[in-house]
Each structure stands twice: as structure tokens, then as C-alpha cells.
Chains A and B, each alone.
Chain A
């Protein structure tokens, strides 16, 4: 980040926030060396390569593709993105088939990336980036980094951001096709990177926050089923929401947006005195809603929810004492600095029919919660999550939390491995009857690795590990296709 950008970022609002949240700053040099590789730059697309099997054995008959997305270009010509969330999206395709694994990766060809390539400077504003000289912003998609997740809807691979349109990609070549417009009057509408997908392929999503949020419902064939504003009584920022079979659940943290300015995060204020409010909305009648009050917490990610026969609603997520990570620490990463932020903790939320809400803490550090998507909306027992937060800003372990026994089935990859989100790949019908598939960045080997674990025996470690020829920066989210 240039001094100018940094000054601007640190200036408005955040100094006040910093005074409250008192970040404990440590330089990267004090941590196990090299974590900055997780936020390094990739300059070109990665042609398909066969990954080297470094340990284990490939389960026979496994045929699956893991698409992952994450920012992979942060710096150009002496300028830099102001935040981890603002780098250019690199979509990666890991495929295991016929006993072999391959990797290909391609940047999403966005207007932002084209402009910044031409100027050889990072200029477009974003979540934590200020506007640079030559920035052009005539709508949200001009700043769309398409870097947060991917989904396949109606057979179409979409790269997702949250403030603008999904981007259509060719699922084989990863070539960018263009912004997805569901209807002309819905161009440039925000579309969160965390759609909730019912087992039949119906997609629910939200976009934008303020006096309302925009609700999207897509049919299993990818066509638009419904699109409308849903009023909200609080302008909370949210990166994710969740759903049960019958309800949408919007968690309104007291990290609220006061007006609009770039960087977006500088318009967001932490107001813990407001507490956290949970809104439960009937999928079949969006005017039917119930409100639940909880103590203040900050969060990014939730897992799928479900209803019980008496009407109790449960879902889980990873919550933080305050949003220091999103406000400060995730910016500092790009400068090679590690600001210690509150550790995200796995928590189950219980919304009772009498209007009371509770939080049940698993008491384990956790992020990137994932679950068996075949059971979306149904009661389940397990939540997969990254864990093992130590000296670096990134986790070192993967685990499956068992809500009924209250224990983690965990494998620690070690200090030299940065662990990314792992997703469930079903084999049989049972909730853990399948694999956990995910990636790590091996700092010692300086290579990205793909791992497959038995979901029933996570502590045993990978049943197969493949290694790429190069290190790729860390991803956020992905999908199994």
C-alpha cells in the first residue's frame, strides 16, 4: 500500500475504532517465516498441470472437481491493494479423476483487472482500498474483484464477489464469459459470495445492506425465480447469511454501515452497545419474520441451519469478539504485518419458539465452517472447520466438530502449513460418509498442496496429498462439482 493510501485508510473512522479495539501489533518477522507467501502475487494464469502425489493412495473411483477462488494479485508498479479482500480473483480448478489430480487456474477477467493492468497500478477502490489515480467507478462492477467464491448454478460456473454481479466462467477452460445479468434491471446488483443452496439446486442469496437487502432466488436450472428488496431495520454489514428448509436467517451484527465511502470498511462502525439481532424470514412469505436478540459479536461465516419439530431453529457460525480482523488485520497482512485480532470461535445459535435466543460455544477456534451440502436445511451433527491458530495470522489445522459429543476430530498440518477451507465430498449417504477435500500452502516446500481426508477419521491425516509445482496465495471459498 502506498503511504497515501495507507494514510487515507487509517485516517477516517478507523483510528476511532482502533482506540476501542486496541490491536496488538506484531511484525511478521516474529512469526514462523514466510506466511506472507499466502498473500503473495501471481502474475499469470496457470496452465493445467498434473499434480504430484507426495503421499498416500488415491481412492479408486474418485471423480470430483474442486473449484476455489481467492485474491492472487495485490500489487502493481509500487502500488498495492489496501486489503486482503481486494486482490484480483484467481479461480483454481483441482480435479481428481482416474487416479490423477490436475490443477489449472485463471484470473477472472474483470474491468478492474483490465484497467489496473493498463495503468500498471492498483487504483480501484474496494473493501479496504482507497481510490488511486486513474480509478474509474461508474458502478459496482467496475470495482468487482470476483475473488471470494464460486458456485455452479444451473450448470454455469460463477465467480462470486459480494458487492456486484456474479461472473460467468467456462467450467473447463476457466475463461471469463462476462457478468451474469439475471434481468436487465438487475445489472450491477450486489450478490453475496455465500448463496444458500437447497439439495434440489434452488439458490437463495442476498445482496447489499442498508435499509434493505436484495433477495435472490434462483431455480435449479439457474434461472431467476424471485428478486425483490427485503426491508431491514438495521444497516449491519454481513458477508454471509444462512437458511433452514423453511427460513432465511440474517444475522445483523453491530458492525454497521454509516453512509457510503471508499474504502467501504471505513464507513463501517463497531457499535457493540446495539447487540446482535437475528432476523428469521419465512421463505414462502417474506413478510413473515421474527426477531431475536443476542449479545454483540462480529462474524464473517455461518454454516447451514435447520428446524426441529417444535420449531426451534439451529445454525452455527464462527464469531469474533469484534471486527478487528476485517477492519485492520486483513489490511495489515498485505504489508507483511500481523495484527492480533480476536480468534474466531465455533458457536451454535439456538432460536427458540418463545422468542429467546441462545449461543452455545463449542470453545474451539474455527473459521470457514462447512457441512455436507446434501443435508442443507436438515438437522446435522458435524461442522468442518479450519483451526490451529498460533503465531501466524492463518490456521494450521482442519477439524470436524461433533456437536453431539462436543469434540473435535482434528488433524494439525504443522507450523509450516497454512490451511484453507476444506469441503465435504459425499461417497455414501451418511453425514460423514465421504471425504474432506481442501488445500494448504506448504511454506517449507513453497508449494500449494491438495489433500483428501476420510471425513470419519480426520485425525489420521490425509489419505492422499498432491503437490503443485508452485505456491498459490490462499483462497477464501470454493465448491465441489
Chain B
């Protein structure tokens, strides 16, 4: 279960490792992500959008970091200029705003986390195969329940 901590910590670091090269805005797809079911209306959703299993597993740079302030039970992220293709999202709700995934003294997550497709992990993050989804040409919408 410690894996949850280590891999989601990578989410918090995505912002730092995110490079200009990753923002290759060569196509006109957009992605609207609705985050619902938020219990604590404070802090922010922190996550990353990735386009490969390697990036999903933290072995390559993410396409975009995600950071959305939370002030109500449903918030939205708008992502423009994506190339059509296969993507996945992993995120946590940084309720206390300290920029990292909270864990208890035994390393168990204490802040909500979620994956695209609402894929469920098992003693660790959900698998790429369960979290991946297609972004098509034009406008796309994806919903993730934070729990």
C-alpha cells in the first residue's frame, strides 16, 4: 500500500518536472475534466495528464500538470491544445494545501485520490490499462469522482 504514497507523490512533483516540450500544441483537441463528489471544499486538486504508460508510471514526463482550486463540491479543469490520442489522469485532493499527498504514520493515504475512468487501484494506484481513455478530435469531456 506504500506504493500509493510513492506514486502519488510523483503527482505533486509533476509540476516541477513538466517541461515546455511537453506542451506541443499541434492539434485542436480540448478536454474538459469534471471533478465531482468533493467532500471538503478547500485546497486543490493536484494531478497530471499523461499520454503513455511510462508517463503514467512516473518514468516519463506528463503531458500536463493539473491544479484546480477547490471551493465547491464540483470543479472543472479545461485543457486545450491536445493531440488526439490515448491519455490518463491520476490525481489527489490536496485538502490541506501542503502540496503533497497526505499519509498517516504507516504510509496510508489520508487525502482522497482518483484516476481517470474512476479506475480503482488495489494496494496501489489504478493500472494504466484501466485508467486510459481516448481524446478525439474536437471537444472531449471526462468526469472523475473524488473519493
> Does A associate with B in a complex?
yes
Residues of A within 8 A of B105 (CB): 185-186, 189, 214, 229
Could you count the A-B residue pairs with CB atoms below 8 Å apart for me: how many are there? 49
B131 close to chain A: CB less than 8 A: no
Tally chain B residues at the interface, Cβ within 8 Å.
17
Q: Which of A135, A136, A138, A188 contacts B104 (CB 8 A)?
A: A188
Residues of A within 8 A of B121 (CB): 138
Contact A188 B108 (CB under 8 A): yes
Q: Which of A135, A138, A185, A214 contacts B1 (CB 8 A)?
A: A138
Shortest beta-carbon distance, A460 to chain B, in Å? 49
A190 close to chain B: CB less than 8 A: yes
Residues of B within 8 A of A214 (CB): 105-106
- In chain A, what residue has the closest Cβ to B95? A184
Complex CA–CA separation, A189 to B4 (angstroms)? 16
Shortest beta-carbon distance, A232 to chain B, in Å? 14
Within 8 A of A (CB), among B56-111: 95-96, 102-106, 108-110
Q: Which of B102, B106, B123 contacts A184 (CB 8 A)?
A: B102
What would be 21 A-B contacts, judged by CB atoms less than 8 Å apart? A136-B122, A137-B1, A137-B122, A137-B123, A138-B4, A138-B113, A138-B122, A139-B109, A140-B108, A184-B96, A184-B110, A185-B103, A185-B105, A186-B104, A187-B104, A187-B110, A188-B104, A188-B110, A190-B106, A208-B106, A229-B105
Q: Is the interface of A mostly helix, strand, loop or mixed?
A: loop
Residues of A within 8 A of B122 (CB): 135-138
Complex CA–CA separation, A136 to B126 (angstroms)? 10
**A116-146 Cβ-contact flags toward B at 8 Å (1 or 0):** 0000000000000000000111111000000
Complex CA–CA separation, A139 to B123 (angstroms)? 7
Complex CA–CA separation, A214 to B108 (angstroms)? 14
- In chain A, what residue has the closest Cβ to B121? A138
Q: Is the interface of B mostly helix, strand, loop or mixed?
A: loop
Residues of B within 8 A of A185 (CB): 102-105, 110
Complex CA–CA separation, A187 to B39 (angstroms)? 15
Residues of A within 8 A of B1 (CB): 137-139
B120 close to chain A: CB less than 8 A: yes
Shortest beta-carbon distance, A282 to chain B, in Å? 21
Between B102, B108, B120, the greatest number of chain A beta carbons within 10 A of the residue's beta carbon is seen for B108
- In chain B, what residue has the closest Cβ to A228? B105
**B1-23 Cβ-contact flags toward A at 8 Å (1 or 0):** 10010000000000000000000
- In chain B, what residue has the closest Cβ to A164? B108
Residues of B within 8 A of A139 (CB): 1, 4, 108-109
Complex CA–CA separation, A229 to B103 (angstroms)? 14
- In chain B, what residue has the closest Cβ to A134? B120
Between A135, A188, A229, the greatest number of chain B beta carbons within 10 A of the residue's beta carbon is seen for A188
Shortest beta-carbon distance, B43 to chain A, in Å? 11
Complex CA–CA separation, A136 to B122 (angstroms)? 6
